[in-house]
Structure formats: structure tokens, C-alpha cells
Structure 1
Amino acid sequence: MIPWKQIDTARVPGAEVELRLMQRGNEFSMKIGPNELMNSRLSGSEEALATLACRRLEAVKAPHLLIGGLGMGFTLRAALAVLGPKARITVAELVPAVIAWAKGPMAEIFGDSLGDPRASILCADVIEVIQSHPATFDAILLDVDNGPEGLIRKANDALYDSSGLKAIRRALRPGGVLAVWSSGPHPAFSKRLRDAGFAVNEVAVRATARRSGARHVIWFATRP
């Protein structure tokens, strides 16, 4: 078996942790300590985050999406594949090295998605983007940290607490959709979404496109 090798490391702003990019043949992995955050072979649930959210925007002629977290680009590529030519996608990625990895060692995985005229990649905290863009987005897709129960950065909790959800609601246009990826269920978060004024649908998805692997959760919360 081909051994894993470390390609690069990066510090996560605002957190005392090191993000590592690993490679084994044509397979990539991002890890923090012993925890694997994502793997290039396990994209099913992140792709579902985009495709299921975009399905809820079929009546919007020129939708504007905000994606929190570039990662390995699964969500971005899936959204580009199903959206029309008038769509706009803004991706906010906190860690500069993740953007560099997308353009460098993982360029083959990303294909032409970073150069798609519909996509803009910002090196920014998605929390700040949300707070500074009221009534701007038709959908906000969050694949940040590990979901509502984060592993990496305490500041990410501000996305998922009551004040963060209210800020997200303000950033969405009427009828807009918030989609949140999580490694597992979180009943308290479902309640917070409803308390913030969202209509909520919780969907279980598999880690791979073949509907196998670990079960993850996506919340779809609609602003009435």
C-alpha cells in the first residue's frame, strides 16, 4: 500500500491547531491531529449540501450563493454543475493555505471550478461576510468546522448560536435557504433554527456518492 506523505501544514487563524494536507497516490486528506476533516474520496454529503440546496432555488432566476469553507471544493463544484449561467457563488475560506492548495497540489481535483466566471473565492471569515451583507444571498451553505459541534475554532460557534442564526437570517433574501452540514445530529441546533424563525428540514446523507459510509446530517432552514 502506498504510504501517506505530508504535503504541507497551515495554522488556522484564531485557533491553536495545525491543519495538515496529506497525500497518498491521487488521494488527499486534511487532518487536525488524529481527526480527518475531509478526504478526496468521500464527497457525497458535501455534494448533497449543494445539490439539495440548489433544488430549493429553482424558481430564482439569478441566485447568489455564499459557501462557507472551500475545503476540497466538493460543494463548489456540485453547485456549479447544477446552477445556470446567471448564478453567482461567493466562497469564503478562512485559511489562506487551503486556497493555495486548491491551486497547487489539488489543482487536478478542482479542475476549472476556480476559474469559472460565476465563482468568487474570498480569503475571509464567513461570519464577517454574513454580517456585512444584509439581504444579499438566496442561499448560505455552511461546511465550517465539524458543524454545530466544532473541533477546530471556538469562534465558529458564533455561526451556530442564536445571534449567529439571526445574522444569517438578515443576510438571506426572503425565501432564502440556509444549508448546514454536520458530522452528526444535534437536536439543540434544530431547536435554535426554529427559534430564529426558520422553517427546518433535517436530512440524513451518506459520506459517499454511492450512499455508503458514515451518516452525516444537513439542515435546510428556509427564511419565510
Structure 2
Amino acid sequence: MRILVVEDEPKLAEVLRTYLQASGYEVRCAGDGLEVMPLIADWPPDLVLLDLMLPGRDGLDLCRDIRARTAIPVIMVTARTEEIDRLLGLELGADDYICKPYSPREVVARVKAVLRRSAADLAPARARETGGLEIDEGAWSARLDGVPLDLTPVEFRLLALLASQPGRIFSRDQVLDGLYDDRRVVTDRAVDSHVKNLRRKLAAVRPDEELIRSVYGVGYRLDLGGV
């Protein structure tokens, strides 16, 4: 599998390249943000390891662009912990983040975990429809009342989880388990952000209904017209 490492510090990039290649991945590196989108077009990777602070074009802007054009998983790398909720927010759609300084072995473990989730997401699956919501996990698409929903990978997993049993209350821990392999990957604030923005996208189709309900102290449930 192909990994694109976007890191402007040559020594760090080379360390990551060495560890990832030792784990069996094909690796290319980019040190300037302006190189990234042309490289993705020419050499489509299976995952992008994307530093936040880059010359030419910053990582946040690149993450938006990657997510708008592809479903390639993105792991953000940052030394700015105050950015973490934004990195995993619905507007950006990053799949995971890693804070500097980091262990190269941790990076490899995170890459493997995200690729496992991505493979599971793309596994063949039948479409299912209930209450006007259609989810096709094989095609990675969702529609509400026939209107396509423009969802990030994390949003899609969240909606698919809630829609698997409409009306059931899923605890925050169950939501975290459904979205991430390791609860430490995401903060409670980020989960609330995912839910808030998914609600906004659903409300654009059904403005008079609150489809995702919060049950105080318990979790979340999906209500689809009494289903």
C-alpha cells in the first residue's frame, strides 16, 4: 500500500519513510504543500500523513482539498494541541491526528489502524434504507429523501452506526468505538463536533426535524419519522 508523507523536516521525513517501508509500505515524501495535490493526482496514495505547518500551503487547507476531492484517509501531524478539535472536525474530516514529538512506531501503528478502518469501510456491503435514509456502505454514499449527503468518512461512519438501529440509544463509548479503534484518538469535544455538523447536514434536507437526538447522560439516537 502507498503512503504519502508530507513533512518539511527532511530528517523526520526520512525516519518515517524508513519505518513505514520496514512495515511493507511504499512511501513517497513531499516537503512543500504545493507539491501535494499534483503528487496525489500522479501517484494516488492509500493514506496521507500530513504535517500541519508546511511551506507553500498549510496542512489545514490541504486536508480540506483532499477531503473535497477524494476519500483517501488523512492523518494530521501537529505540535499545536489547540488545533486538535479542528483537525478532527467535520469541516476538515481528518481521520486521526498525531502530536509531535512522537514515536515512529506509534505513527506506524496509527497508519495501520486507519488503513484497517478504511478497508472495512470499503468492504462490499448491501445498501439499506429506512425512514427515507439510504446508506450504501459498499458505494460509500448516503441519501436522505433522495438527496445525496456530502459526508466526510467520519461522518459517514457515525451516520451508519446510528442508522444500523434507528431509535436505539448509542452511548458515547459505543460511538467512539464505532468511529475509532482507540478512544485516545479523539476528544469528547470532537465527538460533539461530529454530531453537531452531521445534524446540520441532515437538517439541510429536513429542516423541521431533529433526526439525531441527544439523551442527556446516556448518548445519541437516530429518529427517522417514528422508525
TM-score (norm 1): 0.37
Point out which structure has higher relative CO (alpha carbons under 8 A, 6+ apart). Answer: 1
- Normalized per residue, the structure richer in strand is 1
Larger radius of gyration: 2
